[in-house]
Amino acid sequence: MSIEEQVKDILARITRVDKAIITRESTFKEIKADSLDVVQALVAVEETFGIEIPDEDAQKFQNFGDFVSYVESRVAQTEKV
Amino acid sequence: MADNKNIVRNGKIRVAVDAMGGDYAPGEVVKGAVLAAQKDDVEIFLVGAADILEQELAKYRPTNGSFIHVVGASQVIKENESPVDVIRRKPDCSVAVAAKMVKAGEADALFSAGSSGAAAISAIQFIGMVDGMYRPALVGSLGSFAPNTVMVDLGANVDCKPDQFLAFAIAGSVYAKRFLNITDPKIALLSTGSEESKGNDAVREAHLLLKNSGLNFIGNIEGGDILNGKANVIVCDGFVGNVLLKFYESIGGYAQVWTEAKLKKHPPLRALVRVLFKGLFPATRISSESEKQGGGILWGVDGIVKIAHGASRAPQIANAIESAKEAVKAGVVESLKAELAKLDLSKNQPGR
């Protein structure tokens, strides 16, 4: 399963929305994710991929696509190391 | 979560107390814990800054040291901080450490008079929710005017998805059975009309879920039916519930002021009114829990989590600890799980 699909699964499970409605353009607000949902998603993604997402970086995510791209790049960095 | 086998074996319910939470913490919290520990069926873990708590506890230890312990936590979450910080920025704050003790089976219940949001988030993140409940709910009985009626949610969930109303109905139902001894509670949905087409989108969808749930659902009721006893469990979102709660609790005081003003020229009657209203005002306090038990349970958490007003003093804190202990004994979490298991709520949860 791709990183995008895995992150989408996590977000859909936590926010309890149908994953089909989550697109790369979806904002957290559009999928009705509140601040707790977002933090829980960050923690779950960190645990799943073994990465750390500092708050300063997380605050820059404008939409789901930003979140996925960030996770993909961090996972790639980890694999290089 | 609570392990009833341990309770039986040790003869004591173990309560992890967030000793740094509350307007008068840690002094009044420690004092309240010492009061609660006078009962021989409870063991208390004071969680917080160990050196400070040891100093506070030393004031009482000669009489009540044996079943109160101190557990160190290096951080504190303050009222002005975001409750979400307990997850990533302050995972070693007192309320989070207390929640982790419940999860680890080192405590049977958690009590906090600190930030309600931080307690709820610690409970969700570190203890977890029971299957079928998404976020904790606050349940309270309407007291004297409607002694056989409870309302849920009283403010924990401002925005609700339709399936949350169904879970609230079950939590309210368990409360009515356990605390009001009502065998088959009648459940109603609070709306702007009795027809199922009335209400906002979430309420209309919730009506359909409740109607098809197999629960004892009697349909929608309006505001005018809240106190008439038509329903034993009134379900609404936390926004409506909290507004109603505060309005309801303010009625007695305003009615007294208004009546006394009307009787300004009749001092004897005015004095009589004052006496009568002394009895009436407490009648408008929602929830036997708040009044007698010093706080409310966060329903839906997979363990007992009791929260109390930040302004609680030692006697209220002792009451809250006592009622957390009673909730463990009554097995309210197990009852809630059993009721939720009867319904397949997973089909209503799109993210699952």
A33: left (phi over 0), alpha (psi -120 to 50) or beta: beta
Q: Judge whether residue B261 has pLDDT over 60.
A: yes
Of B89, B125, B161, the CB nearest to A16: B161
Show residues of chain A in contact with B352, CB under 8 Å.
13, 16
> What per-residue confidence (pLDDT) applies to B158?
84
Q: Which domains does chain B have, with CATH numbers?
A: 4-130+298-330 (3.40.718.10), 139-246+341-348 (3.40.718.10), 248-283 (no CATH)
Residue B87: partners with Cβ closer than 8 Å, 6 or more residues away: A39, A40, A43, B121, B125
Pair B294, B319: CB distance under 8 Å? yes
CB contact under 8 A, B82 and A35: yes
* Model confidence band, residue B1 (pLDDT cutoffs 50, 70, 90): very low
ipTM of the complex: 0.80
Asked if residue B79 has pLDDT above 90, the reply is no
* pLDDT at residue A48 in the model: 96
* Nearest C-alpha neighbor of B52 from the set B76, B77, B16, B35: B76
- Dig out the tokens for B2 from the structure: 């609570």
Task: Say if the Cβ atoms of A16 and B352 lie within 8 Å.
Answer: yes
SS3 of B45, please?
strand
pLDDT band, residue B283 (cuts 50/70/90): low
pLDDT value at residue B256: 85
pLDDT per position as a tens digit, A10-62: 999 999 889 999 999 999 999 988 888 999 999 999 999 999 999 899 999 99
User: Distance (Å) from the C-alpha of residue B32 to the closest C-alpha of chain A?
Assistant: 31
Q: Does A2 touch chain B (CB under 8 A)?
A: no
d(CA B214, CA B169) in angstroms, rounded, equals: 12
> Considering only B7-21, B110-124, B212-226, which range has the smallest mean pLDDT?
B7-21
Cα radius of gyration rounded to whole Å, chain B: 21
Residue B97 has pLDDT above 80, yes or no: yes
The tokens describing B328, both together, are: 């463990």
Please tell me the predicted confidence (pLDDT) of residue B242: 86
- Give pLDDT, residue B159: 83
Are residues B351 and A17 in contact, defined by beta-carbon separation less than 8 angstroms? Answer: yes
Res B288 pLDDT > 60: no
pLDDT-derived band of residue B295, with 50, 70 and 90 as boundaries?
low
- Name which of B77, B84, B160, B209 to mutate to probe chain A: the one with the most chain A Cβ atoms within 10 A of its Cβ: B84
Give the pLDDT confidence score for residue B344 in this predicted structure: 64
Q: How confident is the model at residue B40, as a pLDDT?
A: 84
Q: What's the CA gap between B215 and B170, in Å, rounded?
A: 8
Dihedral sign for Cα atoms in the order B88, B93, B99, B100: positive
- Spatial neighbors of A57 by CB under 8 A, at least 6 apart, are A70
pLDDT at residue B284, rounded to an integer = 65
- The predicted structure's pLDDT at residue A21: 94
pLDDT above 70 (res B317): yes
In angstroms, the CA B242 to CA B190 distance is: 13
More confident residue, B267 or B159: B267
CB of A18 within 8 Å of any CB in chain B?
yes
Q: How far is CA B70 from CA B66, B325, B346, in A?
A: 11, 19, 40
pLDDT over threshold 60, residue B196: yes
Q: Could you give the CA distance from residue A65 to residue B170 in angstroms, rounded to a whole number? A: 38
- Six-digit token string for B158: 């401002």
> What is the rounded average pLDDT of the residues B218-244?
95
User: Percentage of chain B surpassing pLDDT 70?
Assistant: 88
Q: What residues form DSSP beta bridges with B233?
A: B150, B187
Active site residue A9: no
Of A16, A19, A42, the CB nearest to B134: A16
According to DSSP, residue B125 is labeled: I
Q: Give the pLDDT score at B5.
A: 42
Largest CA distance in chain B: 67
Query: Does the distance separating the beta carbons of B351 and A17 come in below 8 Å?
Result: yes
| pLDDT higher than threshold 90 for residue B184 | yes
B270, B291 in Cβ contact below 8 A? no
Q: pLDDT per residue over B137-167, tens digit each?
A: 989 888 778 889 999 998 888 888 898 999 9
Interchain proximity B87–A55, CB inside 8 Å: no
The CATH number given to A3-80 is: 1.10.1200.10
| Predicted local confidence at residue B63, as pLDDT | 55
Across the interface, of B84, B351, B352, the residue whose CB is closest to A39 is B84
B234 pLDDT higher than 90? yes
